Every structure is written in C-alpha cells, then in structure tokens.
Amino acid sequence: MANKGPYYITTAIAYSSGKPHIGNTYEAVLADAIARYKRVEGYDVVFQTGTDEHGQKNEIKASEAGMTPQAFVDKNSAEIKRIWDLMNTSYDRFVRTSDPEHKKKVQKIFRKLYDQGDIYKGSYEGWYCTPCESFWTQSQLVDGKCPDCGRPVTMASEEAYFFRMSKYADRLIEHINTHPEFIQPVARKNEMMNNFLLPGLQDLCVSRTSFTWGIPVDFDPKHVVYVWLDALSNYITFAGYDVDGSTDEYSRYWPADLHLIGKDIIRFHTIYWPIFLMALGEPLPRQVFGHPWLLMGDGKMSKSKGNVLYADELADVFGVDAVRYFVLHEMPFENDGVLTWDLCVERFNSDLANTLGNLVNRTISMTNKYFDGVVCATGVTDLQVAPSGVVSEGQTGSIDEDLKKIVLETPAKVTEKMDRLRVADAISEVFALFKRCNKYIDETAPWVLAKGEDQLTKDRLSQVLYNLVEAIAVGAELLESFMPDTAQKILQQLNAKKRGLDNMDTFGQYPSNEKVTDQPQILFQRLKAEDVEAAVAKLQQARAEAAGAPQEEEKAAGDEDSMDVEKKEEVSIDDFAKLQIQVGEIVHCEAVKKSKKLLCSQVKIGSQTRQIVSGIKQWYTPEEMVGKKVLVITNLKPAKLAGQLSEGMILCAEDNQGRLSLVSPESAVSCGAEVR
C-alpha cells in the first residue's frame, strides 16, 4: 500500500489529579481506533496522548496527600499510562507537561508573545474555579457557580499577565467561516461563534501568582504560566516546535490533522489555542472534534455521586476488547452516550458472544466436523434447502451473491464512516457483515447439506463453508482497528492472512484447501447477569474498604436483585410430570409483521424443527436469537398468534422490572434433551 503521507492525531492530555474513569478512557480508545484505521489506510501516523500536570488543583491535592506536587503527578501519570496501555492504545508519544524540555519551550513561547506585545502585565479580580482552572465574570456564573462544571467559585484578585485575544478574534472568525470542517460537530462550532466569538472576546489571563506548581515565567519568576497556555502548547512542543528553530519532524507533521477532545474543553481548543498559534505565526490544526460525554446511568460520571466506572474494573469482568467495543459502539456522533453494567452484559451476550463469537465458532466447528478443517472452494451454488429439510437443485446463487455483495461493500462503508469520525457507525457496519453471515448460515442450512451423500451436495456444503470463512476473514480484518486482539484471534483460527484495505475488492482470496484450526477458541463466553452482579458487588465493596467507608448492610427485600412473587396453588409431582420440557436450538428467527411484541422462531428439538411464537421482541432481536439453546414446553396445544402457528412455548424469567430473560441450560446439552 502506497504511503498516503503524514497524519497527526492527538487526544486532550488527561489531567493528572487522579485515576481516569471510563469516560476519560473512551477518548484514548476512540483516538486509537482512528489512528489504527489511518495506518491501515496507508498513512504515516503519529498518535500523541499524555498527561497535563500543573495547576493549583494538583498543588492542593498533593498537599492533602502529604506529597510533593512532582511525586503526586508522577504517581497519577503512571496510573493513567497504565490504563491507556491496558486498553491497548497504540500511541506513539505519551507526553507529560512536567517534562523539562517542554517547560523550556513554553517559557520561550511566553517570552516571544510578551516581546511582540501580545502579552501584557495587569491585575485581575474575578471569580475563579479551581477544578476548571478558569476565571469568570459575575454575569457568566450560573446560579453563582462555575458555568462549566457547576462547582463553587472563589473571588480571586492578583497581579497577572494577559493575552490580547481581541487582536486575533476577527481573523479566527474568518478562518472558522472559511473552513467549515475546522470545528466538528457543527453544533460545537455554532456554540463557539454565538456564545464567545461574536459577542466579543475578553483578554485572557495567562499567568498566576497565587500558587507555585507551574512553569515559571523566566523573566518574572513569581508568576507561573497559566495552565491552559502550558497544556495546549504540548501539541507542538513535543512534535518538535521551538521558538529558536523547529525540527524536520515538526515541519512534516504540523499542522495536526485532528485534535480529539471532550466537548467540555472545546472553547480552549477552538478559541484560545488557534489564537495562540496565530500569534506564533504557526498554522492552525486542520480539525478539532469535540466528542460527547460517556454518561453513567442517570448522568455525568462523578466520584462524589459514586457512579464512576473504571476501565480496568470493566476489563476484569468483560475483557479489554469487550470494553473497547462498549465505549466505541455506545457513543453517538453528537449526543452523549450511556453506559451501565446491565447494558454491558446485554451487549456482551448479544453482540460479542452470539453475533460474533458464535459465528466464528460454528463456522470453524462445522469445517472440522464435515471436512477435517479443510476449506475448499468448489464453485457449486445451485442447491437449495427447503424448510422441510429437503435438498434440491435450484437457483441459489443469489444467496451467495448477496453475501459477496455485502462483503465487498463493507470496506468502503467503514472507510466513509471513519473519514467522518462516525466511529460507532463504522463498527456497526462491521457487525452488520457478521450478522449477514449468520443469516447466510440460516439460508444455506449446512447441517442439512451434511446429510447428503452425493458429491454435488458435499461440494455445495464445502462452498458454503468457504464463503463463510472468506467473509469472516474480511470482517475480522476490518474489526482490527476497534478490537485488535479479537481480530488477531479470529484470523489465527481461520489461518487467514491479512490482505490490506486496498485488496478487499475481490471475493475469494482465501486460499482453497487451506486448513482452519482444529481447536477453535471461544472468543466470548456468555455471561450470567447474576455473576456480573456479584462481581460488581465485590468491586463496590473493595472501593468502600479502600476509602475507609463502612460496609453496606445486606440488601433489604424488594431490592432489584431479589424478588417476591405471588405464591400459586400447590401442584403434585404428577401435575408437573404432565409438562414436557425439552432443550431446543433456535436455527432461524424473524419478527412477526405488524406486531410490536412477537418473534417467530424455528426451533430444532431432536430431529424435528418447530415454529414457536414468543412475545419477546422488546428484549431480543431476531439475529440475537439464532444459535441460542432454550427450554421449550413441547406438549402445549398449538395456537395461532397474530396469524402465525405456534407449536410450543419458550421459557423465560421475568424480573420485577418486567424484563424477560431466556432460560438456557448451563452447560452443553443436546437438542431434544428432556428437563426433569
């Protein structure tokens, strides 16, 4: 693949006041997915992240912890880096603003801006928010508190240096108007223009004297550089910029292609930072994307609320790639996303264990069972399987062609989504391919073809499995930017080599007569909600003990994880024996037209396949149902629901919120096994 040139992407550097929660971690994973995909496209990528370490907040927290500020940020920066590494982020530079070289360069930047008249000395009196490191006027406060974070503010009065923001405001407005791609999403651009730029910019305080943990102004040492001028400069100082002469690397990679930041700091990156760069005579970054927040349950994650999720805790329960999938999949382009433990379990079981994991395992297992693991393209397409299980000659090439069409279209769709930073949509396109593969299994019914004894039927079965392996191999390679370890495991089990994004325009590149692994690995083992609940309880207990909090008393009756139900009339063992309950496997499922509640499933029970209609559409999609083993009452009198014949009942459990969950056997049990 030809080199498409440099691509420089940065995250906001994480403030090193404590352990990053999953919302902070989301940004690093999002940037990593973009960086990885750009590398796949052929770009020479530099991905920079790191920690923001100066400021009054860290000075106060260090004092409270009985540590020097440097020791305090060393500890927290190491923890942030540990989390980024745990989440398999492929950064090229992890920077720290306490780095001595960065300090020297920032001092030179401050002096240059002062010498050319952009910075002047004055005094400031106003409301100051310590957590946000921001000054506010009385009119900007909301209910007397910081408009950004809602915390209390204090009156501050001190000598300070100021930057003449208004000098560059018109130039910045013109740049934003002539470069519509500069601020994304568009709603962020409108907010900056209407709320800050068009009403007129006030000069910005760029130094402080009320604390010492910062970069000293070298010509006036009682002042330290305001944290935002210090922190924002990291994007160029670590890339090789220097007032006295920048490096060749800086010339190659600046301006940055993308600053990826949270929407709460969009003002600093789209107003202050561009103006600093204009004053330095440097090009502006090509794009600033202010991503939405990842919320926990009913609001923004907050340690004070006790609703914080941490990446390492989630990874302990679900695995790293599953957590990467959760945060990338659940974040819309513009609106805030929501993450809960319940949602993680649902996504893990439906999307990862069933749609993806079950697909890979079934395909490899069938290849081993029917052909000793050898995948062979035979070209046979004209055999079809009737619902009755009868194999006959017929034009089924359209089924294969539709699968091939999806496989060949998906790379371009993913690339188009990634180009627009719609990462959640891109990963959904990859999973749409996997869902199509599952549907293809239903359509071709390999288990029925396997019963055929003639060569034509065997050749058709071989081609079906070849098509599946080829399609999964392409999907796995596209998945790598989002779930790198999982993608590698799939390709290894298929014994498939990566073909490259530019070479995904032809179906059938998987070598015929190649052999898949004879020991398929379960990628994602389905989780029980109660097991996850127990794990969460342990985590919460450990947190409480670490914080010195008293242990929680046992939950009272009526809590979510316990239920009392109305006791029904007692029955004898003979009454129970009248019910015939057997294990069934769902081989096909579709929504019942014009019904908001019903799904129609084809359930394999022993040697028979029955049609069963269930009111579970609110909790399961047809794709999620396929492949599940369920408990079925098989001697129930047939009935018609919404015009569809139902020949049994699939058993579900219902909690006190009215949510349904399928009842499945704990371990592998043959279809048709009787429940006693």
27: tokens are: 């940004």
Only one residue has tokens 């009339």, namely: 569
Q: Is the pLDDT of residue 317 over 60?
A: yes
pLDDT tier, 238 (very low <50, low <70, confident <90, very high otherwise): very high
pLDDT tier, 547 (very low <50, low <70, confident <90, very high otherwise): low
Q: How far apart are CA 165 and CA 645, in angstroms?
A: 73
- Specify the range with the lowest mean pLDDT, choosing from 68-82, 347-361, 528-542, 554-568: 554-568
Over range 619-631, report the average pLDDT: 82
Over range 632-640, report the average pLDDT: 87
Q: Is the pLDDT of residue 589 over 60?
A: yes
pLDDT score, position 281:
98
- Better-predicted residue by pLDDT, 258 or 554: 258
For the stretch 41-62, pLDDT in tens is 999 999 999 999 999 999 999 9
Percentage of residues in the chain with pLDDT exceeding 90?
67
Over range 405-419, report the average pLDDT: 98
Closest to 147 (Cα-Cα) out of 199, 184, 196, 193: 196
Q: Is the pLDDT of residue 145 over 50?
A: yes
Over range 412-427, report the average pLDDT: 97
pLDDT score, position 491:
98
Q: How many CB atoms within 10 Å of residue 194?
A: 10
Q: Do domains 341-515 and 573-675 have the same CATH topology?
A: no
- How is the chain split into domains, by residue range? 341-515, 573-675
pLDDT score, position 557:
29
For the stretch 95-112, pLDDT in tens is 999 999 999 999 999 999
- Better-predicted residue by pLDDT, 669 or 363: 363
pLDDT score, position 340:
87
Q: Is the pLDDT of residue 457 over 60?
A: yes
Strands 154-163 and 204-205: antiparallel
413: tokens are: 């769709």
Burial 86-117 (b: 16+ CB within 10 A, else e): ebbbebeebbbbbeeebbebbbbbbebbbeee
For the stretch 60-91, pLDDT in tens is 999 999 999 999 999 999 999 999 999 999 99
Over the chain, what is the mean pLDDT? 89
pLDDT score, position 549:
46
Residue 399 exposed, middle or buried by CB count within 10 Å (0-12, 13-18, 19+):
middle
Closest to 601 (Cα-Cα) out of 587, 615, 618: 587
Question: Looking at the domain 573-675, which fold is it?
Answer: OB fold (Dihydrolipoamide Acetyltransferase, E2P) (2.40.50)
Over range 413-422, report the average pLDDT: 97
pLDDT tier, 550 (very low <50, low <70, confident <90, very high otherwise): very low
pLDDT tier, 302 (very low <50, low <70, confident <90, very high otherwise): very low
pLDDT score, position 297:
64
Only one residue has tokens 């930017």, namely: 481
Q: Is the pLDDT of residue 301 over 60?
A: no
> Is the dihedral angle over the CA atoms 236, 242, 247, 251 positive or is it negative?
positive
Contact 407/471 with Cβ under 8 angstroms? Answer: yes
pLDDT score, position 131:
79
- Specify the range with the lowest mean pLDDT, choosing from 91-100, 105-114, 427-436, 660-669: 660-669
Question: Looking at the domain 341-515, which fold is it?
Answer: Isoleucyl-tRNA Synthetase; Domain 1 (1.10.730)
Burial 512-548 (b: 16+ CB within 10 A, else e): eebebeeebeebbebbebeebeebeeebeeeeeeeee
Burial 137-164 (b: 16+ CB within 10 A, else e): eeeeeeeeebebeeeebeebeeebbbbb
pLDDT score, position 289:
97
R_g (Cα) of the chain, nearest Å: 30
Tell me if residue 110 falls in helix, strand or coil. Answer: helix
pLDDT tier, 223 (very low <50, low <70, confident <90, very high otherwise): very high
Percentage of residues in the chain with pLDDT exceeding 70?
91
pLDDT score, position 177:
96
Contact 665/581 with Cβ under 8 angstroms? Answer: no
Q: Say if residue 665 is preceded by a cis peptide, omega within 30 of 0.
A: no
pLDDT tier, 644 (very low <50, low <70, confident <90, very high otherwise): confident
pLDDT score, position 561:
40
Q: How many CA atoms lie within 13 A of 95 on its CB side?
A: 27
